[in-house]
Amino acid sequence: MSKVILVTGAGRGLGTDIVREALAAGHQVVATGRRPDQVEKTLGGPQDNLLVTKLDVTSLEDAEAAAQAAVDRFGRIDVLINNAGNFFAGYFEEITPAQMRQQIETNLFGPMNVTRAILPVMRKQRSGHVITLSSSAGIIGQEFCVAYAASKFGVEGWMESLRYDVEPYGIHTTVVEPGFFRTELLVDASTTWPEPTIDDYAERTTATITAWKSMNGQQSGDPAKLARALLTITAQDKPLQRFVAGADAIEGVTAKARELLAQAEASRELGANLAHDDTNA
């Protein structure tokens, strides 16, 4: 069945693949980005089932305007795919407070802005599906990823809790945790690389930047296949609430689950008897 799908960050990378796959499957698509002319050019120009509109996810006003444009053109919004994001790489002490705030503003408050603008439409319909791209870094802390992981761990908690808010109105939620895909996240347009500023970190910073830049375009995951998998989830009667995407992510999340269980068990003796004991009052 054809759906109206709004995609953020549609100008490059995974967002472009999602839009192309959705159009090929017969859906009506609202493709958004900060530079709509460039988005439309990337997607091959005007198309009957395509609306391209401006959306900087850090602007609630942009989000509200995009939601209204979608309803004006197609009459409804069935699926929101929060895809837009960026990456501030580096060790914690070399990431400025302003950069940390900017990372969270884009990757956490950004999808919150868009979802806030679209939920009234979905509630009125009594149907909808909010899909937000997190990362395996939203489950597993990693070296050189403190800002990105902080933003994605936030996405995980928000989306997991949002489910309970909106389920009564027929709205589904899915949080997506990809591993390494060729999504252009590591290109300079998406990534802010740190300048070595602290001697203790300088050698590690330089080596890590070199290694990660060399990995761009060589990641094992195919973004077109990920886009098709997301569309499969939108067609499920009971969509996955969490989609771990890629063999590397599945392996990592499985290991993290075992680690959490082990840590919970190790905490049992010290942590399980912390309730107030009236006998000692």
Q: Which residues are catalytic?
A: 148
Judge residue 120's burial from the number of C-beta atoms within 10 Å of its C-beta, 0-12 exposed, 13-18 middle, 19 or more buried: exposed
Spatial distance between the Cα atoms of 9 and 267, rounded to a whole number of angstroms: 42
Spatial distance between the Cα atoms of 52 and 38, rounded to a whole number of angstroms: 10
Spatial distance between the Cα atoms of 241 and 47, rounded to a whole number of angstroms: 32
Distance of CA 134 to the CA centre of its chain: 4
Nearest CA to 16 out of 37, 34, 1, 31 is that of 31
What contacts 111, CB < 8 A, 6 or more positions away? Answer: 8, 57, 82, 84, 132, 155
Q: What is the DSSP letter of 90?
A: B
Spatial distance between the Cα atoms of 52 and 15, rounded to a whole number of angstroms: 13
What contacts 259, CB < 8 A, 6 or more positions away? Answer: none
Which tokens sit at 274?
A: 């912390």
